[in-house]
Amino acid sequence: MKTLPQILSQRVVARSRIFTVEALDLRFSNGAEVGFERLQSGLNGAVLIVPITDDDQLVLIREYAAGMGRYELGFPKGKVDAGEGWREASVRECMEEAGYRPGQVTLLDSVSLSAGYMNHVTHLVAAEALVPATLPGDEPEPLDVIHWPLGDWKALLDEPEFSEGRAYAALLRTLLHKEML
């Protein structure tokens, strides 16, 4: 196993309501010294939920994705609030964004985003035994809720609005969970 680099200095260079940008000066075991920047996000991470109806329909949402400047088709998602675990956050976000309370949630995986630049972790969760139920959310406009046959997952991958990497990973883990691959 490789030796972790030595942190020579570590300082905050910018801060927003969501992220902290940190500058690091590192010394590697071979003597090379390099500067890096990384985004530090909230300690609790986020959840991305794949709601699946009893008749094997995926419940997707269409919402504005400010980073891309367009509407994106994907799964309900959101941050894990202080005092919550992935289970509680998954149930809450599913009710807020998709309008369903899951009777069963299963952790499929926990994935990083751009691990070279960010410490953020997203928990991928299957939500099943869905019952219609809503909670008020923090979305600026009502979200479109779309049902998509799980068996037609290949067509979903061809859908131009379905492009987020976390959604792809969640779909793959869901297919493995449902033993469809």
Domain boundaries, the chain: 6-40, 46-177
pLDDT at residue 46, as a whole number: 94
pLDDT tens digits for range 61-105: 999 999 999 999 999 999 999 999 999 999 999 999 999 999 999
151 pLDDT exceeds 70?
Answer: yes
Mean pLDDT of the chain: 94
- Do residues 171 and 165 touch, judged by C-beta distance below 8 A? no
Q: Which residues contact 20 (CB under 8 A, 6 or more apart)?
A: 12, 14, 39, 40
CB distance 101 to 134 below 8 Å: no
Q: Is the pLDDT of residue 15 over 80?
A: yes
Contacts of 33 (CB under 8 A, 6+ apart): 8, 25, 26, 27
Q: Which run of H or of E encompasses 10?
A: strand 6-15
The CATH T-level fold of domain 46-177 is Nucleoside Triphosphate Pyrophosphohydrolase (3.90.79)
pLDDT beyond 80 at 54: yes
Nearest of 49, 66, 81, 79 to residue 145 by alpha carbon: 49
Query: Which two three-digit tokens encode residue 41?
Result: 């996000």
pLDDT exceeds 90 at position 132: yes
pLDDT at 120 over 70: yes
- Whether the pLDDT of residue 181 is over 70: the answer is no
Tell me, what's the pLDDT at 93?
97
Task: Answer yes or no: is pLDDT of 172 > 70.
Answer: yes
How far is it, in rounded angstroms, from Cα 49 to Cα 34? 38
Residue 17: pLDDT band with limits 50, 70, 90: confident
pTM above 0.95, yes or no: no
Quote the CA–CA distance of 62 and 60 in Å, as a whole number.
7
Average pLDDT rounded to a whole number, residues 160-173: 97
